[in-house]
Amino acid sequence: MTANMQGKVALVTGASGGIGLATARQFAEAGASVVLSARRTELIAEEAARLTDAGYSALAVPADVTEEEQVAALVARTVENFGRLDYAVNNAGVIADRVAAHEITNKDWDWQISVNLTAVWLSMKYELAQMVQQGSGSIVNLSSVAGLRAAPGLAAYNASKHGVVGLTKGTGVEYAAQGIRVNAVCPGWVETPMTAEFGSDPERRKMMIESEPIGRTAQPEEIANTIFYLCSDAASFITGEAIAVDGGMTS
User: Shortest Cβ distance from residue 178 to ligand NAD (Å)?
Assistant: 26
User: Shortest Cβ distance from residue 199 to ligand NAD (Å)?
Assistant: 9
- The stretch among 88-96, 121-129, 224-232, 234-242 that binds ligand NAD (CB under 6 A) is 88-96
Q: Which of 151, 148, 150, 179 is nearest to 165 (CA)?
A: 148
Looking at 56, 87, 126, 157, which residue is catalytic?
A: 157
Size of interface with ligand NAD, in residues (CB under 6 A): 26
- The stretch among 72-80, 86-94, 96-104, 173-181 that binds ligand NAD (CB under 6 A) is 86-94
- Could you tell me if 222 and 244 are in contact, meaning their C-beta atoms sit under 8 angstroms apart? no
Residue 175 annotated to the active site: no
Residue 30 or 63: the one with the smaller Cβ distance to ligand NAD is 63
- The stretch among 13-21, 25-33, 130-138, 233-241 that binds ligand NAD (CB under 6 A) is 13-21
Cα distance between residue 58 and residue 36, in whole Å: 7
Enzyme catalytic residues: 157
Residues that bind ligand NAD (CB under 6 A): 13-14, 16-20, 38-39, 64-66, 91-94, 115, 142, 144, 187, 189-190, 192-195
